[in-house]
C-alpha cells in the first residue's frame, strides 16, 4: 500500500466496528443527536502518521454517514478520534476522501 493513498473499499470487520463504537459519542455530540443504529458497512484506510479510516456507517433504515477517524500509532496509546464526517449519505454513495 502506498503511503497517502486510499485502499480499496473492504467490508467492515469487527475491529472497524469497535472503532466506530468508540467514536459514536463524538459523532452524537457534534451532531446533537442519538443514533440507535451505528453499524459499520465498508471502510477504506490511508496511511499517514498513524492510520485514517474512512467508514460508511448506517445510522437508520435509509440514512448513512461517512466518518473519517484517525488512529494514532500504537506507541502513542491514544484511542481513535473522529476527524470529520459527512451526513445525508445513502447506501450507494461511494466512499471517497474528504
Q: What is the CATH number of the domain that holds 66?
A: 3.10.450.10
Question: What pLDDT was estimated at residue 10?
Answer: 96
Assess if residue 29 is contained within a domain. Answer: yes
**Chunked in runs of 10, what are the mean pLDDT values of the chain (98 residues)?**
76 96 96 94 92 95 95 87 95 92
Question: What pLDDT was estimated at residue 48?
Answer: 85
Range of the domain at 37: 10-89
Q: Which three cell numbers stand for residue 57?
A: 456507517
Q: How many domains does the chain have?
A: 1
Assess if residue 64 is contained within a domain. Answer: yes
Question: What pLDDT was estimated at residue 1?
Answer: 46
Q: Return d(Cα 58, Cα 74) in angstroms, integer.
A: 28
Q: Return d(Cα 60, Cα 46) in angstroms, integer.
A: 27
Burial letters for 21-58: b for 16+ Cβ neighbours within 10 Å, e otherwise? eebbebbeeeeeeebeebebbbbbbbeeeeebbbbbbb
Assess if residue 2 is contained within a domain. Answer: no
Assess if residue 98 is contained within a domain. Answer: no
Question: What pLDDT was estimated at residue 3?
Answer: 56
Amino acid at each position: 500500500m502506498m503511503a497517502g493513498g486510499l485502499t480499496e473499499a473492504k467490508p467492515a470487520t469487527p475491529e472497524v466496528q469497535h472503532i466506530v463504537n468508540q467514536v459514536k459519542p463524538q459523532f452524537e455530540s457534534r451532531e446533537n443527536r442519538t443514533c440507535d443504529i451505528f453499524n459499520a458497512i465498508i471502510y477504506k484506510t490511508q496511511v499517514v502518521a498513524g492510520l485514517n479510516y474512512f467508514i460508511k456507517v448506517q445510522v437508520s433504515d435509509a440514512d448513512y454517514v461517512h466518518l473519517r477517524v484517525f488512529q494514532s500509532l500504537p506507541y502513542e496509546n491514544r484511542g481513535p478520534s473522529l476527524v470529520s464526517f459527512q451526513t445525508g449519505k445513502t447506501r450507494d454513495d461511494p466512499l471517497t476522501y474528504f
